[in-house]
Structure 1
Amino acid sequence: MNKFFITLTFVLCIAFSAFAQHRREASIVKRIEVYLNKMENVGFSGSVLVGMNGKKVLSKGYGYRDQKIYLKNEPSTIFNISSITKQFTASAILKLEMQDKLSIDDRITKYFTNVPKDKVSITIHDLLRHQAGLINSIGKDYDKIDKDDFIKKVFSTKLRFEPGTQFSYSNIGYSLLAIIIEKVAGTSYEDYLYKNLFKPAGMELTGTSRPDFNAENVAVGYYNNDSVWGKPTDKGYDIDDQYWNITGNGSILSNVEDMFKWDKALTTNKILSNQEKQQLYHPKLRADEDKNGNAFYAYGWDVSKTNRHTERVWHNGVNNIMYADFTRFIDERVTIIMLSNRSNQRNFDGKISIDIAGIIFDKNYKPTIPVAENKENNDFTERIIKTVIEKGLQAGKDEFLRRSKGTDLISYIVNNKGYDLINENKIDQAITLFEINAFAFPESADAYDSLAEGYMDKGNKSLAIKYYEKSLALNPANNNAVDMLKKLKK
């Protein structure tokens, strides 16, 4: 064949492939937009950014950052990212290691005096992986406590287990890491993060006190009953060593655009070397952990394998007012960032990122839209729960079918009540509530996952397997169902 035609054919193949990929991405984005518009209609309020193949394909706001004066959320809206802060603390520690200023194997005795005997073996690595045995917290986020008093209180607490032997999530462990950063760097925690992480990544609207936030652009947080919590910038957080309950573990504010800049920076060696990033996602595991690395807590990231045999690194942030979710499918170059300012996200926490991932990776995925949380639906849900518990499943089904148009069951409330009953060892009553949930929402993988757990607790292995398989069929990304089925089928 003529060289010209070979070259032309090659160019046309590349062009066609690029066109096909563009059409696929456009179709996916359209499905995501339709889904998010529906979620906004039932109460979702926040900002969402989706990245594919290194570029933004969607970045939009939904609901209001200030509903009193009808200011809409935007991609630039500032939210509290809460525990997503931990990945910045972890990255700062690794940056200091790159600079030969510390080692993750250092014991905390190198940085603190008068360390109690039970805590002298704790290492930086233990703090990063929540395996130091420390309790979660010693006070509320915005309780004022200076550095010295904070350290004394932490060291006076009783350990949950011998350091390095188990996992127990600890916010105060990450605050100790922030103090170590200050001691080693000779500057404030926030100043070190800005100069070494945020500024190189181009993140000028991420931090606590340093950014010159436009007050109008900071989201107002709302409680579940729509009452106002306020703006995180109004909570009095500053850098005068008074808020160590939250520093290092949940203090940072940001927006989806800046978080995407961080995501992109982590795909380069601009901030962390390949060696340090390997540690960030794949630190040394304990002897009791899954040797295949299917799911574990790394350094500020939760790492797991997908059913596509790819890697998912994720973390969320929750303060019961605002919710943040940062999901990265590194192998597949997909990033999903969701920041929200409403505490009634119990219908939405984690769901939005899961559903968007489902849309991206499965062309047949159909996300369920939660029921709006209003008085009518809340009252109806409580009636159904009472009916099922007192009169049985069939009575509950009959009442559900007779419901008024526009009235519906709030799934998570039913689900939570079911788990309350399991904790009270009322397994049969719990199962009936999980059954009514599955009846009302037959396309909900979560409903069948809970029903399966109910039957597993009852000791009915065959039905537990049946409903885990049903849940997995509805959501192939349900790793919990995969893990449970492996255990049940042994």
Structure 2
Amino acid sequence: MTSVWIHAALAGTLLAPAPVDKGIASYLDRTLPDGPGGTVAVVRDGRLVHCAGFGLADRERKTPAGCETVYDIMSITKQFTAAAIMKLQMMGKLRTTDRISAHLGRVPADKRAITLRHLLTHTSGLGDLGDDYVPVSRDTMISRALATPLRAAPGAGFRYSNLGYSLLAAVVERASGLGYERFLATHLFAPAGMTRTGYVLPRWSPGDLAVEYDKGGRRQGRPTEHPWAKDGPYWYLRGNGGMLSTAADMYRWHRALEADTVLSRRAKAEMFTPRVLTEKRGRLYYGYGWGIVPRTRLGRVAEHDGGNDWSFGEYARFTGRRVMVFWITNQAYSTGRWNLENLNSELTLGLAERA
């Protein structure tokens, strides 16, 4: 695993070469199968102790994955949408207890009780509508969401809904007067020093982005090669997924959350409160854009994973230990060979233990 240089926006200077921890590198060599490409970052006490790639980001061009390789972080995007809602609450633009009609206009009778908090915690009763890449505008997405039958009464229980987070992205636009990505870039990413996170605002070079591969090893292209609007994904994906980022920027996001750089202590406390039980067996809860596990062998964890048909990633913050683990791969599945989604818990805990 070779080091790459991280261009840091935090201090406006070039940091030392991205660190490679020998113990973590050895663990990854033993644990990961030979084949997928990806990147791992581990933070301890606010310091990046490991940030390196494994395998290839682009097999055809023989491009190695590294600390600054850009990936689609998939549903990890939801934490940014949740943070945007909390930021708008801090700004006095909305409250999480608002009914959605306060921001989306007239709402059918069966959805009048839905609040922003219901959307944030996947308890709205909404399902999903269609493929991520269907060319749907914001207003069409809203009208279809409001017209679709609910799967359950608002507040009745946890039912994961990507559509709910797309509606939250629309609320961000309505409440702020800015585009969704522009609001995040201005109020979240810039204060955190994140210059390599977004949809289209960062100036991506094609070679910066990891190519994704399906379970048969067939090339599925880079995230920006899928159908997108001029300003990012269409609205069945916007706000709930599709954000592009690097391990180095996810480190900066962790640093911002550890401090009060982006969100106040009160806002973070509300966001990270375990609000709805999602799995009795594992005692898993959901907050706002984060899964919360109050008790593990390493203490409390706030996390969110993300996946599609090709890739998979995990972002976990072990808050009692001040440890962060981020890992992502551009080929999560290989028929008869590996399934890195199934390895998630073992790999994440193993990395945290070696921080």
TM range (shorter): 0.7 to 0.9
- Three-state SS of the structure 2 residue aligned to 1:111 is helix
Runs of 4+ in 1 over 4 A off after TM superposition: 239-242, 288-291
TM-score computed with the length of structure 2 as normaliser: 0.88
Closer, same or farther in 2 for the Cα pair 1:155/1:48, shift >3 Å? same
Among residues 81, 106, 114, which one is paired with 2:98 in the alignment?
106
Question: Cα deviations across residues 64-114 of structure 1 (Å, max 9, x unaligned)?
Answer: 111012110011000000100000000000000000110000001111223
Among residues 320, 324, 344, which one is paired with 2:313 in the alignment?
324
Q: Which residue of 1 aligns with 2:36?
A: 44
Among residues 210, 214, 236, which one is paired with 2:205 in the alignment?
214
Question: Cα deviations across residues 350-375 of structure 1 (Å, max 9, x unaligned)?
Answer: 62563352365389xxxxxxxxxxxx
Closer, same or farther in 2 for the Cα pair 1:182/1:249, shift >3 Å? same
Deviation of the 1:63 alpha carbon: 0.7
Deviation of the 1:307 alpha carbon: 3.5
Q: Which residue of 1 aligns with 2:56?
A: 64
Q: Does 1:166 align with 2:153?
A: no
Question: Cα deviations across residues 20-48 of structure 1 (Å, max 9, x unaligned)?
Answer: xxxxxx9x943321122244552231000
Deviation of the 1:52 alpha carbon: 1.1
Among residues 136, 144, 147, which one is paired with 1:153 in the alignment?
144
Q: Tell me, in whole angstroms, the C-alpha distance in 2 between the residues paired with 1:341 and 1:55.
A: 26
- Which residue identity is paired with 1:149? T
Paired residues in the alignment total 333
Q: Tell me, in whole angstroms, the C-alpha distance in 2 between the residues paired with 1:92 and 1:348.
A: 30
Q: Does 1:244 align with 2:235?
A: yes
- Which residue identity is paired with 1:361? E
- Which residue identity is paired with 1:80? D
RMSD: 2.4
Larger Rg: 1
Q: Which residue of 2 aligns with 1:123?
A: 115
- Three-state SS of the structure 1 residue aligned to 2:104 is coil
Question: Cα deviations across residues 217-236 of structure 1 (Å, max 9, x unaligned)?
Answer: 11111111111100012224
- Asked whether the equivalents of residues 49 and 257 of structure 1 are also in contact (C-alpha less than 8 Å), the reply is yes
Q: Tell me, in whole angstroms, the C-alpha distance in 2 between the residues paired with 1:309 and 1:223.
A: 33
Deviation of the 1:341 alpha carbon: 0.7
Q: Which residue of 1 aligns with 2:303?
A: 314
Closer, same or farther in 2 for the Cα pair 1:339/1:282, shift >3 Å? same
- Which residue identity is paired with 1:203? M
Q: Tell me, in whole angstroms, the C-alpha distance in 2 between the residues paired with 1:308 and 1:66.
A: 36
Closer, same or farther in 2 for the Cα pair 1:341/1:103, shift >3 Å? same
Deviation of the 1:347 alpha carbon: 2.2
- Asked whether the equivalents of residues 129 and 299 of structure 1 are also in contact (C-alpha less than 8 Å), the reply is yes
Q: Which moved more, 1:84-93 or 1:339-348?
A: 339-348
Closer, same or farther in 2 for the Cα pair 1:359/1:81, shift >3 Å? closer
- Which residue identity is paired with 1:77? T
Q: Tell me, in whole angstroms, the C-alpha distance in 2 between the residues paired with 1:153 and 1:267.
A: 38
Q: Which residue of 2 aligns with 1:339?
A: 328
TM-score computed with the length of structure 1 as normaliser: 0.64
Q: Which residue of 2 aligns with 1:194?
A: 185
Closer, same or farther in 2 for the Cα pair 1:87/1:350, shift >3 Å? farther
Closer, same or farther in 2 for the Cα pair 1:103/1:206, shift >3 Å? same
Q: Name the structure with the higher helix share.
A: 1
- Asked whether the equivalents of residues 145 and 242 of structure 1 are also in contact (C-alpha less than 8 Å), the reply is no
Question: Cα deviations across residues 274-329 of structure 1 (Å, max 9, x unaligned)?
Answer: 0000011006x36x7899x9531000000012344721011011112221110110
Considering Cα pairs closer than 8 Å and 6+ residues apart, tell me whether 1 or 2 has the greater RCO: 2
- Asked whether the equivalents of residues 325 and 337 of structure 1 are also in contact (C-alpha less than 8 Å), the reply is yes
Deviation of the 1:158 alpha carbon: 1.0
5+ unaligned residues in a row in structure 2: which ranges? 1-18
Q: Which moved more, 1:32-41 or 1:228-237?
A: 32-41
Q: Tell me, in whole angstroms, the C-alpha distance in 1 between the residues paired with 2:308 and 2:77.
A: 12
- Asked whether the equivalents of residues 325 and 350 of structure 1 are also in contact (C-alpha less than 8 Å), the reply is no
Q: Which residue of 1 aligns with 2:73?
A: 81
- Asked whether the equivalents of residues 38 and 56 of structure 2 are also in contact (C-alpha less than 8 Å), the reply is yes
- Three-state SS of the structure 2 residue aligned to 1:314 is strand
Q: Name the structure with the higher strand share.
A: 2
Q: Which residue of 2 aligns with 1:140?
A: 131
Among residues 333, 344, 361, which one is paired with 2:353 in the alignment?
361
Q: Tell me, in whole angstroms, the C-alpha distance in 1 between the residues paired with 2:266 and 2:148.
A: 35
- Asked whether the equivalents of residues 32 and 356 of structure 1 are also in contact (C-alpha less than 8 Å), the reply is no
